[in-house]
Amino acid sequence: MEKSNFVDQIRIFCRSGHGGAGSRHFMRNKFTALGGPDGGDGGRGAHIILKGNKNLWTLLHLRYYKNVLAEDGEGGSSNNKTGRFGKDIIIEVPLGTIARDEETGQQEVEILEDGQEVIWLEGGKGGLGNSHFATPTNQAPEHAQPGLPGKEGWKVLELKVLADVGLVGFPNAGKSTLLSVITAAKPKIADYAFTTITPNLGMVEYRDGKSFCIADLPGIIEGAAEGKGLGHRFLRHIERNAVLLFLIPADSAGHKKEFEVLVNELEQYNPDLLHKQFIIAISKSDMLDEELKAAIEKELPADIPHLFISSMTNKGLLELKDLLWKVLNEEVK
């Protein structure tokens, strides 16, 4: 298999900067032989900051970031001069990126907006110089604070694709073909399972210049929730989709069974996914007559909207766009 340019998880070691030490200095010049304390504060250690960039779609550019080591703050100096702060490191990431601590698994940062900046690991605070510790009874303090250490540890950056609509289905359900027809995306399409091994995003142009984002996600197989096939790598990406569009081909051996398997895999992975809005689209329906459509409709859940579409003939695609827009912008019960 060729190496993918889509990287949705990386592991890196991060360390923010150590704070600079405060200065223990006393004023000395040709006019003042025994001046008071004038030691300046140490500079803050550099932060490690995550910044959202809407033009990024993958973590590929960070693949070779094995160690991110931020600059230490400079020590304080005479004449109450504060040491230089460490230069912050800004890591640009795609929208939908989550940062976790590897050891605890705790989520630390979530980036959802373009230009959003969040301090991920704070730099250590600089120590106070001895001028802060002068008192009436101790006018020449020898004490100054050391800088505080930065934070460090193994971290994980994880990308969950941000899209309004997620296409869900078995391999060869026709998801990539549908995406290529209703958007400007050009996913790889072929007649074999797992043609799509990474998410493909496309913008659907709707009426009056409106648009919404749809994601063709890798196909589910039974056992995906346990990590079979593309497993968790796929299921992670549907957590952010507002609407899940289930694509079931007209030539499926069992439309109801296929839908139930898909829903079961979602439930096994994360039961909260069942609270999303579902829509069912029967793809490749240009091969169906009215009698077969009626038979398929009887199999489908009555409480979930469904349509018959064909990406080859464009049948039902306008109605599909209308329904998706309505569901995204109104709370359809």
- Quick check: 203 and 213 in contact, CB under 8 A? yes
Distance CA 55, CA 88 (A): 22
Reported confidence tier of residue 195, pLDDT bands at 50, 70, 90? very low
Q: What is the pLDDT of residue 332?
A: 42
Reported confidence tier of residue 312, pLDDT bands at 50, 70, 90? confident
pTM of this structure: 0.68
**pLDDT surpasses 80 at 316:** yes
Q: What is the pLDDT of residue 191?
A: 39
- DSSP string computed for 268-302: HH-GGGGGSEEEEEEESGGG--HHHHHHHHHHS-T
Q: Choose from 42-51, 105-114, 234-243 the range with maximum mean pLDDT.
A: 42-51
Q: What is the pLDDT of residue 5?
A: 56
Q: Choose from 69-73, 136-140, 201-205, 222-226 the range with maximum mean pLDDT.
A: 69-73
Distance CA 323, CA 280 (A): 11
Q: What is the pLDDT of residue 19?
A: 97
**pLDDT surpasses 80 at 219:** no
Q: What are the angstrom distances between the C-alpha of 108 and each of 83, 117, 153, 181?
A: 29, 13, 12, 39
pLDDT tens readout for residues 244-298 = 999 999 888 889 888 998 888 888 878 888 888 999 999 888 888 889 889 999 9
Q: What is the pLDDT of residue 35?
A: 76
Distance CA 98, CA 329 (A): 26
**pLDDT surpasses 50 at 3:** no
**How much is the mean pLDDT over the chain?**
83
Residues 292/294/300/302 CA torsion (nearest 10 deg): 170
The structural domains of the chain, ordered by start, are 1-159 (2.70.210.12), 165-329 (3.40.50.300)
Tell which wins on pLDDT, 113 or 270: 113
Q: What are the angstrom distances between the C-alpha of 62 and each of 67, 81, 171, 310?
A: 10, 37, 30, 39
Q: What is the pLDDT of residue 73?
A: 96
Lowest mean pLDDT among 51-55, 147-151, 300-304, 329-333: 329-333
Tell which wins on pLDDT, 274 or 232: 274
User: Hunting for tokens 């730099």 — which residue is that?
Assistant: 123
**pLDDT surpasses 90 at 148:** yes
Tell which wins on pLDDT, 4 or 204: 204
Q: How many residues does the chain have?
A: 333
pLDDT tens readout for residues 153-185 = 999 998 887 778 888 888 777 777 888 888 765
Rounded to 5°, angle at Cα 70 from 86 and 94: 115
**pLDDT surpasses 50 at 201:** yes
pLDDT above 70 as % of the chain = 87
Q: What is the pLDDT of residue 188?
A: 44
**pLDDT surpasses 50 at 225:** no
Q: What is the pLDDT of residue 230?
A: 46
**pLDDT surpasses 80 at 72:** yes
Q: What is the pLDDT of residue 198?
A: 58
